[in-house]
Amino acid sequence: MALFSIDELKTLVENPQSPCVTLYAPMQKAGSEIRQNPIRFKNLIREAEKRLDEMGIRHTEIGDFLQPAMELDTSDFWEHQDHGLAIFISPQMFRYYRLPMQVQELVVVSDRFHLKPLLHLINNDGKFYVLALSQQEVKFFTGTRFGINEVEVENMPQSLDEALMEEEIQKGVQHRIGTSRGGSTNPAQQPGAFHGQGSPDRDKRQEDILQFCHVIDKALHEQLRDQKAPLVLAGVEYLHPIYREANTYQHLVEAGITRRPELFQPEELHTEAWQIVEPLFHESEKNVMELYQQLAGEGTGKASNEIKEIASAAYCRRVDSLFVPVGQQIWGEFDPDTITVDLHPEPEPNDKDMLDFVAIHTLLNGGTVYVVEPEQMPESTLAAAIFRY
């Protein structure tokens, strides 16, 4: 399964048609317990039917509306699940995603899809990149704490020989692509050169590798434009200083994986890369949490834990950083005309989870969302935000 992406999120958010049915269910991947998967699914469908009926939709229309989801109910489908399942249904949209994480059973019928449980897959505190580099092969991956997927990069050379051949075709015998940032064309001064060896062939090979890295960096520059997620380099040790000289991406991390990447399965590459980047994410979250507590204590109005205030600020693009708890909801309605919130103790027809509302608006407006366990929330609140102004 492709990792859930910000583009998929935007597609679901921008779906304008009501009603929107959202179903979440934990799944079993193997063993006799997989028989629970279709039972959970049928229970969720019955609950969705009930909610649609309460909205005044006729029974025959409800059956037609939910039919695309019902068609999933086959033995082959249930035998090929991950840890969770998310289904989204509206008059002109049907999407489902196998999720690499457990989710809470949940049915939401509203005028918008309920997306907060998916933010773990795309929010900024869990996204990273891996560049797996050797002279024979180049691969680029995007990952989160839950998994890693290979991504094709336009104009990325697949090997050193391919890069050199393309260079000769395009430029003949003219100067090489780029030089080091220090401007030196003397291969003996390039990073990773074997100083004192005095071998012209070896020096030439080092220069070729540097040019190879420049081509890779140029392709990644287009792929990673305006991104801030950490990039981990995987490759044999001598390649690391050479690539770092060519690199222009500001978030290439200091630590790297110094093994031949072709020996890795994707799962192993993910494990080693996550060990490197996980402390970076925890540090970022800790710093933002401390800033929130400082601003909240100063009483400057730049931080709040009041959901009504946060909802209005998120809608008006004022939220810079947001903490929300996983697995909890606050039901209510938001009026865009008055920019006010009406909260309800239990979900009513057309209600939305206001925690979902503020998280999605914060993320789409360029803010950072931290979805944390309830006990990690500052001051045991249900939402905490830092405002831009």
pLDDT of residue 184: 41
- Nearest Cα neighbor of 251 from 229, 272, 273, 270 is 229
Structure confidence at residue 181 (pLDDT) = 45
pLDDT tens digits along 6-31:
778 888 888 768 899 999 999 988 77
Name 159's Cβ contacts closer than 8 Å, sequence gap at least 6.
135, 136, 137, 138
pLDDT of residue 378: 86
Token digits of residue 209: 């590798």
The one-letter amino acid code at 253 reads V
Q: Which DSSP category does 188 fall into?
A: G
Q: Is the bond preceding 191 in cis, omega lying within 30 degrees of 0?
A: no
Burial 22-44 (b: 16+ CB within 10 A, else e): bbbbbbeeeeeebeebeebbeeb
User: Per residue in 260-286, pLDDT tens?
Assistant: 877 778 889 999 999 999 998 888 889
CB-side exposure of 73: number of CA atoms within 13 Å? 15
Assess contact for 25 and 34: CB atoms under 8 A.
Answer: no
- Cα–Cα distance, 358 to 347 (Å, whole number): 17
Query: Which pLDDT value is given to residue 237?
Result: 92
Closest C-alpha to 382, from 321, 345, 327, 319: 327
- When pLDDT is averaged across residues 40-54 and rounded to a whole number, the result is 94
Phi, psi of 106 (to 5 degrees): -160, 140
Instruction: Say what the pLDDT of residue 183 is.
Output: 42
Lookup result for tokens 């509306």? 65
Residue 74 has a pLDDT of 92
Least confident of 78-82, 170-174, 265-269, 308-312: 170-174
Question: Does residue 384 contact residue 322 with C-beta atoms inside 8 Å?
Answer: yes
pLDDT at 112: 86
94 token code pair = 């049907």
pLDDT digits (tens, 9 = 90+) for 130-161: 999 998 889 999 888 888 888 899 888 888 87
Mean pLDDT, rounded, of the chain: 85
User: Is the distance from CB of 97 to CB of 1 less than 8 angstroms?
Assistant: yes
Residue written as token pair 């978030």: 251
Sign for the pseudo-dihedral over CA of 155, 133, 135, 151: negative
Reported as type and span, the H/E element at residue 339 is none
Q: Is 139 exposed, middle or buried (0-12, 13-18, 19+ CB in 10 A)?
A: buried
Contact in structure between 332 and 362 (CB atoms under 8 Å): no
Average pLDDT over residues 316-345: 92
Residue 178 has pLDDT above 60, yes or no: no
Given the DSSP bridges, would you call strands 93-99 and 84-90 parallel, antiparallel or unpaired? Answer: antiparallel
DSSP 72: T
pLDDT band for position 193 (cuts 50, 70, 90): very low
Measured distance CA(379)–CA(306) in Å, rounded: 12
- Determine contact, residues 360/116, Cβ cutoff 8 Å: yes
